[in-house]
Chain A
Amino acid sequence: MEKPRIATTSLAGCFGCHMSLLDIDARILDLAELVEFHKSPINDIKAFDQHCAVGLIEGGCCNEENVKVLREFRRNCDILVSVGDCAIMGGIPAMRNLVPLEECLQEAYLNGPTVFNPSKRIPNDPEIPLLLEKVYPCHEVVEIDYHLPGCPPPADTLWEALGALLKGNPIELSYELIKYD
């Protein structure tokens, strides 16, 4: 039987959730037995060319490229999981939602106390994706099937949830795995 494929991505995140995934330690070998990694920063596959069973999304959407990638994931994965607080509610990047976009850019590139920018230009290469007016949680852009909270969700949480998904079982996480205070 063909192994189920999974894909992962980090949008407006810090890769902490991916680090947490790697934190499953030696179990990563079991995971590799169970699944085949498709598009993911872990193996550096850049584009979808096959359909995947599960897509893990880290981070929310802060720019147009995030939106594009997230929509690709939606089209190419049966199940999408928002992993971690940024994907679920915008997280730290969404703190900028309180400030108008123009002011954000000026503070970051011109006025901030630690800015060194002799050219006084705000980066504007055509290659740079345009920012969204605010940071969106993933479920406001595409339909998301599951949410795994945590900053990051602990490795055991990811392991249990992924295992259940791949086996087609309901995700039943014990209290310890979703307790954060």
Chain B
Amino acid sequence: MSETLKETVGEVCRSVEFDRSRMIDVVREVQKRYGNVSGEAMELIARELKTHRVEVESVVSFYAFLSEMRQGKVVIRLCNDVIDRMHGADRVLAAFEEELGIRVGETTPDGEITLTTTACIGMSDQAPAALINDVVVNHLSSDLAREIVWELKQHGNPALLVKNLGDGNNASELVSAMVKNNIRHRGAVILSRAATGQGLETALAMTPAEVIRNVKTARLRGRGGAGFPTGMKWEFTRAGSAAERVIVCNADEGEPGTFKDRVILTECPDLMFEGMTIGAYAIGASLGIVYLRAEYAYLKRFLESVLDRRRSEGVLGRGICGLEGFDFDIRIQMGAGAYICGEETALLSSCEGVRGDPKNRPPFPAQKGYLGLPTSVNNVETLCCVARIMEHGPGWFTALGSEQSAGTKLLSISGDCKRSGVYELPLGIPLRELLKLAGAEDAQAIQVGGPSGQMVGPDAFDRTICYDDLSTGGSIMVFGPKRKILEVVDAFLEFFVEESCGYCTPCRVGNVLLKKAVAKLISGKGSQKDLAYLQSLAETVKKTSRCGLGQTSPNPVLSTLENFRSVYEEVLVAGEAGLQHDFELSRAVSQAARIAGRTSAHLHP
């Protein structure tokens, strides 16, 4: 056993040329083959990659898809995102537990199947959904869960669970997934037409500086959520005298309720790669990395094949489009299950083969990014926009969208609406119009921008989706009239508690305290003072956290305190002022009373 492990580790490490920065690939492969990365495997990996075991261990313990404990040959990861719960994920989980005879987090005694839950897997439009190894199963019900278990017990092969293929490329041989695109509205920039390659040709006829100027003229801003001007980012990355630069495509779409990149990756990968190649030309990069979230591993083979085709077409590789000296290639870096890796500096850490910890800024990635090289990290959708801007010119792009926010935006709408799915719409569209399109006019609350965004009510439905008003990376979650707002807040906080990387105290501890404070209010034991405490705690976490995660994780609390104050005030306790009503003396002394065999003398003080 030990000998084969040694051989396997050696072989896996050789496949990445013993490059320590490819640690994620190595541990992912070992995990895949053995169902875990054991202590022994860690030792061996450390030796092969000339590093310390603790480096390997810190990676294995960090990512959700890696584990030191042996997992089953089949791992069922049920999405427990709030949208999935609204669609009955709890019942599905109960059915899985009952049918497998194990609790969540456990493995069947025969070592075959592990059951666990995971944060949003980018399938909110077809919830409840789960990943079974790399296979997506969607529209789950408790009956379906039982059927899946029964089948897995027969053949143990998740691939055989795929029954009805989805639409578009989901049905192609290399994807073969049940995933549905659910494209509801095709806008002018991305979804209306296939990639033509024209953008790249036009770009290569310009100087890199001209390309950047065009992107700036188009007023293109990052589509991932932060909205940084793309042209400016490229200019910063190009500045300086580095011999090599890197362009990274952020396909770690982890913000719950976002699934628009899934559709782009499935239907428009050429457009994305084209945009990336243009970006490489503009900043002078020869290496491109697509950081693909582990949840989208089912798209990897397909994307690799697109890359291969592009190489054979001469639009990737050496001397692209016959342009002497423009060499650029792209590799796909798989993630391993960590929301924080959507944050660009954490993403770069992950690409470098270490824990996905965010880095201190400055230096910004544009100055010192991947392995210390100037790096531009751009969202999938942003890069697609670039290709179209080059194809049709910046004027065409700015004519779409609003005064301040140019172009279209892909929005992924899910929750209590009739038509959940992906909508490509001009920026500046009023929320009300969007809700009408999606069939969600009776919504009580809309979470714009995912848990890290903000929750708004009907009085904000005339506000617009754009960078200067309601900004979003794509996530729009709809909560109908019967949903309990505080429970949604609680679910979001649970997500952040789980996903905090643990590096800084305000985020690691603060999110736990926020969740406790909200739970106290939900239980009806909170007072006016608890509300004030919640507010000040949320502000502290926001102000003092190290990266975007902790700086935005209090947003569900802060935006609901502002926009849905009444739901908090309705649950405030009516009892005596000054006491903490979640402390119950009778419960606190019940053990001692049982041990002493007598009752409390102070039960009614």
Contacts and interface: CB of A to CB of B under 8 A. Distances in A.
A126 B595 contact: no
Contact-residue size bin, chain B (C-beta under 8 Å from the other chain): 20 to 34
Contact of B605 (A67, A122, A140, A143): A67
A65 B106 CA distance: 43
Contacts of A67: 583, 585, 588, 602, 605
B600 interface: yes
A172 to B, nearest CB: 18
Contacts of B601: 64, 126, 129-130
Contacts of A129: 601-602
B580 A140 contact: yes
Nearest to A126: B598
Contacts of B592: 63, 101, 130-133
B605 A68 contact: yes
B239 interface: no
B589 A140 contact: no
Contact of B598 (A124, A136, A140): A124
B579 A124 contact: no
A3 interface: no
B543 interface: no
A130 B579 contact: no
Interface in B90-123: none
Contact of A71 (B588, B595, B605): B605
B596 interface: yes
Nearest to B578: A74
A142 B578 contact: yes
B602 A65 contact: yes
Interface in B575-605: 578-580, 582-583, 585, 588-593, 595-598, 600-603, 605
A147 interface: no
A139 interface: yes
A102 interface: yes
Interface residues of A, number: 27
A126 B597 CA distance: 10
B186 interface: no
A155 to B, nearest CB: 29
B591 A102 contact: yes
B583 A140 contact: yes
B545 interface: no
A142 B602 contact: no
Interface string A129-171: 1111110100111110000000000000000000000000000
B463 to A, nearest CB: 38
B578 A105 contact: no
Contacts of B605: 67-68, 71-72
A75 interface: yes
Interface in A43-95: 63-65, 67-68, 71-72, 74-75
B237 interface: no
A132 B529 CA distance: 25
A141 B595 contact: no
A147 to B, nearest CB: 13
A67 B600 CA distance: 12
Given A130-B589, A143-B580, A101 B595 contact: yes
B412 to A, nearest CB: 41
B527 interface: yes
A136 B583 contact: yes
A70 to B, nearest CB: 10
23 contacts: A64-B585, A64-B589, A64-B602, A65-B602, A67-B605, A71-B605, A74-B578, A74-B579, A124-B596, A124-B598, A126-B598, A130-B593, A131-B592, A132-B589, A133-B589, A133-B592, A134-B588, A140-B580, A140-B582, A141-B579, A142-B580, A143-B579, A143-B580
Closest 9 CB pairs of A and B: A130-B592, A64-B602, A132-B588, A130-B589, A74-B578, A131-B592, A68-B605, A68-B602, A133-B591
Given A72-B605, A132-B589, A143-B527, 13 more contacts: A64-B602, A67-B585, A101-B592, A102-B595, A122-B595, A130-B589, A130-B596, A133-B590, A136-B583, A139-B580, A140-B582, A140-B583, A142-B579
